[in-house]
Chain A
Amino acid sequence: MSRKSQLICTWTGPIGLVLIGLGLGSFAGLLPPPSPSLPADQTAALYADNLIPVRIGVIIAAYGACFIAAFYGQLAVLIKRMEGPRAQPLMWTQLIAGTLVTFNLQLAAFVFGVAAFEPTRSAEITQSLSDNAFLLLIMPAMPLTLQCLATGFAILGDRNDAPILPRWSGYLTLIVAAFVAIGCLAPMFETGPLAWNGMAVFWLAAGLKAMWIAVLAILMFRAIPPARLPDKNAGANP
């Protein structure tokens, strides 16, 4: 059961990413994001012209966000093995920061849904809700950076003779941490590379995060102990 559970929980990461892309991108048409400098009536039209697809899309995306919770759970299982049995500060940091990342992502999907809930209200209110949702989607670089730092340091500080995840993935995670931190500047700019639809903030930071989950998932599949080896813990809990 444990091996099967671990496989399922690893798969939820890539599946969650696909659901988020499908929901917010293909259905809602909100990815890549529209410009923050769009006037209120055009922002409101993004929702009013596309009401049902936006609503279906945000439900799918919220599911995607919550599926990734299980992926972070499996990441915690591996970090615990890296840190050893005595104390796991980095595992708990990763878990709490990952919870905040997931919550922000799910809430962003919900607020997109709120913006699409009542198409007849005045455009300025819809624009406020839309701004709220895009900032929730792009801005939470703080928990994401912390999560990547905890994961990166755990991989580099692995106490096992045969490391659970390869060392280069630790450096990769730290590089991702440095780049995703840019996302926190999203509320400062309406245009340019640092706006929420900009080259640096959206394409580099959000793109790197998606790539990180995909690469990590592949490595995590290889880190799950194979089924044919007897689990040394089997029967340890009579």
Chain B
Amino acid sequence: MNSRTSQFVCTWAGPFGFLFFFLGMIPFANWVPPPSPSLSSAAVQALYQNNPVGIRIGMILVCWGATLIAAWYAQVAVLMKRMEGEHTPWLYTQIISTTILTANFVLGAMILAVAAFRPERAAEITHALHDYGWLVLVWPGMPVTVGTAAMGFAIIGDRNPEAPVLPRWSGFFCVWCAVLQFGGNLVCMFHTGPFAWDGLLAYWVALTAFTAWIYVMSFVMHRSLKHDAAAALS
């Protein structure tokens, strides 16, 4: 596999991983829209007792999806290295924070699978694990903000001003997506309302911004690779 093929594969691992994520969350776990954080322990236990197998399969798919997105972040790192030149602080910042983000997604899904592992246990314990899993899954606005902003700063400060690796507007787009995902930061504060983990800002706006970010950036990255391929041929 030559380098360009690898780069195309890693570019599309992101959107492909997202499909796994949605497949796990929607048909299997049936968690879009998410269960409300204000449910009683008995209602939470019923969620797991009614659908233990679906939740377990769904969480396996979410783990796969999050892990595939790691390859997409690796391709982002390849492009950022070309933007920053010799000294690459933003590149390393992006690698560390997106690894943390991926680890949070995998860990959150695994804790929800732990909750679904023994649906017959005391309702309160399942409820605590359910809170734990959902918070870890929706909360990580901090690594998202730092990682997305690092990517944006690297694009805006591209050292190849005549022929930037990625267009300048996509850097500002990254910074805006980092801002829009801020709602996720506050999920530990609220059981209801727009900042709860099923709320407008914490869930719907943040998830839409994240999805749009992955897909838009994938198209931009794909175009940059195709442009390079054309330049190499001519």
Contacts and interface: CB of A to CB of B under 8 A. Distances in A.
Interface of A: 1-2, 5-6, 8-9, 52, 55-56, 58-59, 62-63, 65-67, 69-70, 72-74, 76-77, 95, 98-99, 102-103, 106-107, 110-111, 113-114, 116-118, 121-122, 125, 128-129, 233-234, 236-238
Given A69-B143, A95-B96, A117 B150 contact: no
**B contacts with A: majority SS:** helix
Given A70-B93, A95-B92, A6 B100 contact: no
A73 B91 contact: yes
Given A59-B185, A66-B145, A129-B128, A233 B85 contact: yes
A22 B139 CA distance: 20
5 contacts: A69-B96, A70-B150, A73-B91, A110-B139, A114-B128
A238 B85 CA distance: 10
B220 interface: no
A233 B124 CA distance: 60
Contacts of B185: 59, 62-63
Interface residues of B, number: 47
Contact of B107 (A66, A67, A107): A107
B205 to A, nearest CB: 18
B147 to A, nearest CB: 8
A99 B131 CA distance: 25
B139 A238 contact: no
Interface stretch (B5-13, B61-69, B153-161, B221-229): B153-161
Given A6-B89, A59-B185, A233-B86, A70 B146 contact: yes
Contacts of B159: 1-2, 234, 237
